[in-house]
Structure 1
Amino acid sequence: MIRSVILGSGSALPRQAVSNAELTARVDTSDEWIVERTGIRNRYIAAEDETTVSLATDAAHRALEAAGIGADTIDLIVLATATPDQTFPASATQVQHRLGVTRGAAFDVAAVCSGFLYALATADSFLRTGMATRALVVGAETFSRILDWEDRTTCVLFGDGAGALVLGAQDVVEDGPGILATRLHADGAHNQLLYVDGGVSTTGTVGKLRMKGREVFRHAVVNLAEVLGEVLDDAGVAVDEIDWVVPHQANARILDATARKLGLPADKVIVTVDRHANTSAASVPLAYDTAVRDGRIKPGDLVMLEAMGGGFTWGASLLRA
């Protein structure tokens, strides 16, 4: 039996940090309004020379360095993004080239804020079935490119960034590290609650992000609580055994409400939304790497990853670090 084990993590942020106070110079809003409703105090915005591919590559380099392995050992790259550098080819192939990887497969996954969970599950399947032995899983976004800066209810919520995990296929060891269980879901009936109003085959334009925040909030709390319960049942693990929950960093209110619904203490939830805002597919690996590097997540800890995004798509994955 093979299990996918995390060998290292890394993350990357654009050079420019933008505080709420700085944002008020271009948007009709206030620091108090943003913090009260979202918990966000800061976000990072990519410059013209910073792209999804460049951020993804930087995060990948740091993950490989943390794993202590060379890029030439990677035979699978799965990149989750809703903001690729080009319509095609896949941004993952550009990351592959920049890392100097010349073998294996590289492709993108599009599931918006749940994208990293979808990418992680895909890579896990490749490793467990023997189709790959070492995988690089990346979530990277430049959401600032698709924001409507005239819509103060959405533009204040998002930022840019990237996070990456290196996975290795290893024999299963009881109580050893690795991905233990994953569940993914989708429901396309709710497309109009969170979407971009453009597309190659419909308008020929990129479009801008549109969201009905109150409705998304309601669905998120219910869906995330349910999928977390499913994963715990699959793994045979009780809620109080979890050391850390690393959620998609959408909104502090969603994080609090989901934790309360599950009976999880707030001090077990990794929160970085105040620093990074919502970085879509990048938010889970970015938060994970932040918690590893500051010493909160330690080897042997049981960690639950979860996310929900446009589609709707949602999912969760339980792993032992």
Structure 2
Amino acid sequence: MTETLGSTGEFGLIEAVTRSLPRGEDVLVGPGDDAAVLAVPDGRMVITTDLLVEGRHFRQDWSSAYDVGRKAAAQNLADIVAMGARPTALVVGFGGPADLPTAWALELNQGLADEAELLDVSIVGGDTVQSDKIVVSVTAFGSLDGRSPVLRSGARPGDEVAVAGRLGWAEAGYAVLNRGFRSPRTVVDAHRRPQPPYAEGPRAALAGASSMCDVSDGLIADLGHIAVASEVVIDIRSQALAIPEPLQAVAAATGADALTFVLTGGEDHALVATFEPADVPDGWTVIGSVAEGNESLPAGTVTVDGATYTGATGHAHFRS
């Protein structure tokens, strides 16, 4: 039987690809975290990249070119700050059909530039190519300013889990748009343009965060990456999770569970991190704890209120 991307899965493919990649002496942190870390003559550089593909990550009838630009920049900048780093530059690759209006590409560029400007980040280069669908590839660079990176592998038993930023808003917006509606506007806008808590990444690093990740695939899924990398068990306390009124309204209108939006919705690019209890910064909300694995709950497990979560835990490409 021929193995396909569907049977391999997103993370199976990543593991297979990265296993054979060469790793030079300049690579301090390779594939597996929110961004890579390279040694450079005057310090250490953090690098990450993401793709947006029309029809998969955005639709022209749902999002303007400007929205796509803001989103493309935001998801990469969030990966940089999730390492505790300060974003410094972006490189952009763009593909589009020959009959796409030039104005669309220029509007996309403005969205990229405006999001980057929030952090005084420069767009320093890129590439363009003709393609059947619109494809946007952004590579982001960042500086650790002399600090060590905050990895997914540093969580320790006894740490508390805390979050900064919004959870579930983009997923609620997707649910609304998927039903053919455009309100509540707040959640629709959240789907179109995420609002990562950029300042909180370096702030968490300075406060002593032991691990950190941006919530791009879903809270449970992304905490799962930390649990696996750190070889710990993480428990989420559902009562500690805020469920704002717009999410409740969307859940009631669509027959969904508002808590599911918060637990499994991605693309808000909130930050989730682990800290010693005394180190949790003001403005971060404690939502869970870290423990050692055991026979009933092996290391790498994420639970909700002490129980294994049933159902999809977040987004994964190539999942059948």
Q: TM-score, normalised by structure 2?
A: 0.27
Structure in which a larger fraction of residues adopt helix? 1
Q: TM-score, normalised by structure 1?
A: 0.27
Query: Which structure has more RCO (C-alpha within 8 Å, separation ≥ 6)?
Result: 1
Q: Which has the larger radius of gyration?
A: 2
